[in-house]
Every structure is written in structure tokens, then in C-alpha cells.
Amino acid sequence: MKLVLISGKTGGHLYPACSVAEAWEKDSPDNDVVFFVTKSGYEKDILKKKGFKYYELPGRSRSGTKWRRVLISLFEIFASFKEARRLFKKIRPDVVLGFGSYISAGPSLAARSMGIAAIIHESNIVPGIANKYISFFARAVTVGFEPAKRMFSCKKTFITGVPVRKQPQGEEVRDFYRKYCLKDSLPIVLILGGSQGAKKINQVCLDTFSDAKSLNDKFQIIHVSGNDITQGEELNINNYKRILYLDDVPTAMAASQIYLGRAGASTLSELTCASLPAILVPFPYATESHQLENARFFEEKGAAVIIEEERLNKATVLFHIKQLIENEDLRKSMKMAMKSIARPDAAMNVVNIIKDQIIKNYRK
């Protein structure tokens, strides 16, 4: 059976899609998968590394209500619709699964017009505009978290969880400690910015923890800054290590005791699998404020605390980290809350929905 996966160009779309692809291929030797991606995204490099076949479609993610952006988006959706129909005639997929963003709209419409089962996955608490629209004609909707189910038709919406990357084993965690020369005796605080807009997190954390006095020998920091810090390269000052890139985030989470960073649904889902208490700084410009809504859900569950970006400074960062370091009962409570939200089998849950829809389509 052949599956087409449509992924936007952020890690929050791509990594869950890759997890589903891996589960789909593992489920049966007869299963095949193809990706549809944007021409402008970085996802092609990751797909090549993983050995997945892909086709490029016109279009890019857009937001806002200005007429020019709307018209361009509509034009790109129509162009991707035409290209998807051409590719579907060549590929002959059994089902199409979109992970949101405008790139999903054209191919999902094309699938509908050709009698191919179209499914969407919504990772966030608040669905994006594209998924809201596609849901009206999709055969099924899979969602990451329970509150999102209320945003769609209940009869065809299933809570699967957000597919996550392969979870590390004990030896991988020990290798992580060795690679970064970490101390067994000190808890680790993992700081991640996410794939969009982390300049303030990076700057505040750099200013806070490059001062060795801030650490007070009570914890150690792994700060993954990406490339948006201009004040030099990687740093290793006392118990503060700033690195530009980390290719195995799940292992870093498994090794850590506290997380500080953005509140994307994919990152949050991996935190749940690691049972890692979180200090969340939602991206303030996220579409529909979805990161803030994600963070509020986790805060209400007792798994996280929120620092809104306008309140992010040295004092608030140190206060929340030290509170969790010094209050073991609070940290344990947050760990249990994180674990209670986890759905480590999310990728297989999505695969089962796909198979159900294929069977229903054949029966028609």
C-alpha cells in the first residue's frame, strides 16, 4: 500500500511525518511512502539522509489577511493542486496524509477530487487555518491532544498523540554524557530555541549563564542556540555549554532533568516521552497563538510553568530553574504529569487510522 505524506518545512511538521513514515514501512514490507514537500524548505536534506523519496510542490506557508498574501496563497494552492493531481496519476497512492500548513491544501483537494482518502494530522491544541479548511472534506482527522478534538467533527476525529522520534536506550544516554563531558553529580538543564524565532531566549540565557556565578555549582546547562547568536561560536564556561546544533534531541531530553524553551507540539510530545519538567517560553508570533495555548494546556496539567517572552529575563529564568532544582517534590510531580500526557505509540496509532481508511475506501 502506498502512502503520500505532506509536510510543511518546520521541524514540528517534518519530524512527526518521518515518524509515521518509519512506522508505516515497518508495519508491512509491502508498504511504501512518498513525501510532498515545498521547494523552499530545508526538509529535503533530512529526507535524503533518512532515505525517503520526495516530490517538490509549489507553495510556501503564509499567514495574515492582507489581500496580496491571500491572492498569492490561493494561486499557490491551485498550482499545487494541479501538480498533485499529475503526481497522483503517476504514484497511485492509497491514502494521503497532511500535517498542516498551506502545502497540505492543494494535494488534499486533489486527493478528494480523485477519490483518494485524505487524512490530516493536527499536532497543536489550536488548529491552523489549512487544517480547519481541509477537515471539512477529509476522511479522518488525527489530533495530538484531547482539547484539539473539540475543534473538529467528533465523528471522524481521533486522538492519536503526536508522533515522536525513536526514544533512546540507556547506552545512548551515557554516550551523551561522555560526548559533552557532563557531570553525573549535577542535574542538567536543557535549553532549546526551536526552529522559529529564539533570539531572545538565546540572548537572555547567554547573558545569564556565561556568568559562572549564576550556576552556583548546583546544575549544568546544555544550551542549543542554533545560528542566531552572533556573539561568537560554541562556549564551554564552567557548567555552561552552548552548542550551535544538536542532532539527537530525544537523547538530550532523556539525559536532562529540566527543559527550558519553546512550546511547539512536537517538542512538547517528546518532553512527555522523557517525563521532563518544562519551563515554557511560547513563541509570541506563532499563528493563532498556538504555542501559548499548547503551553497553557501543559501548565494546567501541572507539567510545566510558563514565562511569556515579555517577562523573560535573568531573574525569571534563574527563579524558575532554581525552584525546580531545589524543590524535588515539585519536580517529581511535574515528571508524573508529563508522563500522564505521553502517547509514545502515536505513530502506530496514526498508521492504524490510515489502514482503517484504506479498508473503508476499498469497500465503497
**Residues 22 and 153 both lie in one domain:** yes
**Residues 155 and 14 both lie in one domain:** yes
Considering only CA atoms, give the Rg of the chain. Answer: 21
- The pLDDT value recorded for residue 88 is 97
**Residues 152 and 30 both lie in one domain:** yes
24's enclosing H/E stretch is helix 11-27
The predicted model scores a pTM of 0.92
**Residues 197 and 293 both lie in one domain:** yes
**Residues 152 and 196 both lie in one domain:** no
Tell me which residue of 284, 341, 318 sits closest to 191, measured CA to CA.
Answer: 318
Please say if the pLDDT value at position 123 is more than 70.
yes
For cell 488525527, the residue is: 142
Residues 179-209: pLDDT tens digits?
999 999 999 999 997 555 588 999 899 888 8
- The pLDDT value recorded for residue 195 is 52
Please say if the pLDDT value at position 302 is more than 60.
yes
Residues 75-122: pLDDT tens digits?
888 999 999 999 999 999 999 999 988 889 999 999 999 999 999 999
Section 265-294 average pLDDT: 94
- The pLDDT value recorded for residue 164 is 96
Of the pLDDT bands very low, low, confident and very high (cuts 50, 70, 90), residue 11 is: confident
- The pLDDT value recorded for residue 41 is 65
**Contact at 8 Å (CB) between 159 and 146?**
yes
Strand 235-237, strand 240-243: pairing: antiparallel
Residues 340-358: pLDDT tens digits?
999 999 999 999 999 999 8
- The pLDDT value recorded for residue 10 is 79
**Ranges 63-77, 84-98, 220-234: which has the least confidence:** 63-77
**Residues 142 and 233 both lie in one domain:** no
- Total number of domains constituting the chain: 2
**Residues 127 and 214 both lie in one domain:** no
**Residues 6 and 27 both lie in one domain:** yes
Which set of grid coordinates corresponds to residue 118? 485524505
**Residues 231 and 124 both lie in one domain:** no
**Residues 43 and 21 both lie in one domain:** yes
Burial of 171 (0-12, 13-18, 19+ CB in 10 A): exposed
Section 231-256 average pLDDT: 85
Structural domain span for residue 147:
2-163+344-363
**Residues 306 and 184 both lie in one domain:** yes
Contacts of 314 (CB under 8 A, 6+ apart): 204, 207, 208, 214
**Residues 190 and 312 both lie in one domain:** yes
Strand 32-38, strand 2-6: pairing: parallel
**CATH assignment of the domain containing 306:** 3.40.50.2000
Which set of grid coordinates corresponds to residue 172? 545512548
